[in-house]
Each structure stands twice: as structure tokens, then as C-alpha cells.
Amino acid sequence: MTKDVYAASEAADEKTMTKDEFAAAVTANEKKLYIAALSVVRNTEDAADAVASAVAHAWEKLDSLRDVNKFDGWLLQITYNEAKKQKRHGSEFVSLSDIEDSFAYGPDTASIEFFDLLSSARLDNKSRQIIILRFFYGYDLAKTAEMLGLPLSTVKTKYYRALDKFRKLPGIM
């Protein structure tokens, strides 16, 4: 995602990110975090709240991040946790047309279609994270396994089972 943002931290041999690096990394991932939260809460306002809460929580706990290179997975996990908290509070489902109308980052039909697929496939949380890290962030399965702290074999199994679920969806070849 923001490998160049991390380069400064790595070069300086720092264990934590600076405020500017944190802000740059969050800004670079804001849309992806929003889509991840939206895939859990299925409500635009709750998704935005979950991302805001996740960023605030991540800033407070930034010193607990041991490896700057795992920032993406760490922030994504915090976002998922915050989205689950939002979902527990209960919200009304918003239709995809409402989501498209109020999409905070402009009409991006590919992202909305991706969200629709994630919702339709009814994936478990870890499988959803693997798919998002693979297709939104572009990480390979080995890096995804490392970021999530899972064995590569588990990630591969969940990934291929998720793809199989996608294939079985109506209208997917």
C-alpha cells in the first residue's frame, strides 16, 4: 500500500511511525478502510464512524505496533474490530443505490461492486480480510499470511474457499 511511506521509517531504523508518516499512511488507505468497514456494517454512516474510530484508536496505540511494515494489516484489523462494534449497536440496512449516492470518495463502481460481492459471498471475517488484502491492497498470499499472523496453508485454504464461494454466486463465471 504505502511502501514509500514506510521507507523513511525503515531508513531511520525507527520502531514507530512519525505523525506525518501515520497521516500519510492513513490517507493513502482511507478508501480501502472505508470499503472494509462497509463490508461489515453495510451502512455508510456506520462505516465512516468505524474508520474514524479505528484511526483514532490506531493513533492512541501506535506505540504497540512492533513492525511498521505490518501497519496495513494492523490498521485493517483495528478497522474490522471497530466496524464490528458499530454493527453490534445495530443499524438499518442501506441499499446499494443509497451507498452509491452517498459514497464518501466519489462514485467508484468497481469498489461498490467489490463490496456487493463480499456481502453476497457471506465470507467469515478472516476470509474477508484475506480477499481485501489480496485484491484491494495487492499483497500476495505469503505477505497476507505474515500480516495476519496465520500459517500460509490456512491463508491459502481460506483464499481458495472464498474464491469458490464467489464462483458459485449467480452471474459469476
Would the pLDDT of 160 be above 90?
Answer: yes
Q: CB 167: neighbour CB atoms within 10 A?
A: 10
Among candidate residues 156, 154, 130, the one with its CA nearest the CA of residue 144: 130
**Residues 28-74: tens digit of each pLDDT:** 888 888 888 887 887 788 888 889 989 998 988 888 888 888 888 88
Rg of the chain taking only CA atoms, in angstroms: 16
The two counts, helices (H) then strands (E), for the chain are 9, 0
- Indicate the residue type of 68: V
Pick from 35, 171, 50, 45: nearest CA to 115: 35
pLDDT at position 17 is 81
Average pLDDT over residues 150-170: 89
Cα separation of 167 and 144, whole Å?
Answer: 22
**Res 131: pLDDT:** 86
Is residue 155 packed enough to be buried (19+ CB in 10 Å), middle (13-18) or exposed (0-12)?
Answer: buried
- What separation in angstroms does the CA of 162 have from each of 12, 52, 57, 91, 156? 39, 28, 29, 26, 10
What pLDDT does residue 93 have? Answer: 47
Measured distance CA(39)–CA(120) in Å, rounded: 10
Distance between CA atoms of residues 41 and 21, nearest Å: 28
The domain segmentation of the chain, as residue ranges, is 3-167
Specify whether the CB–CB gap between 80 and 86 falls below 8 A: no
pLDDT tens, residue by residue, 93-147 = 444 444 444 444 444 566 667 766 777 778 888 888 888 888 877 889 998 888 8
Q: Which three cell numbers stand for residue 134?
A: 489480496
CB distance 123 to 132 below 8 Å = no
pLDDT recorded at residue 15: 63
Prediction pTM value: 0.59
Q: Which residue has the higher pLDDT, 163 or 105?
A: 163
Selected residue with higher pLDDT from 116 and 10: 116
Average pLDDT over the chain, rounded to an integer: 76
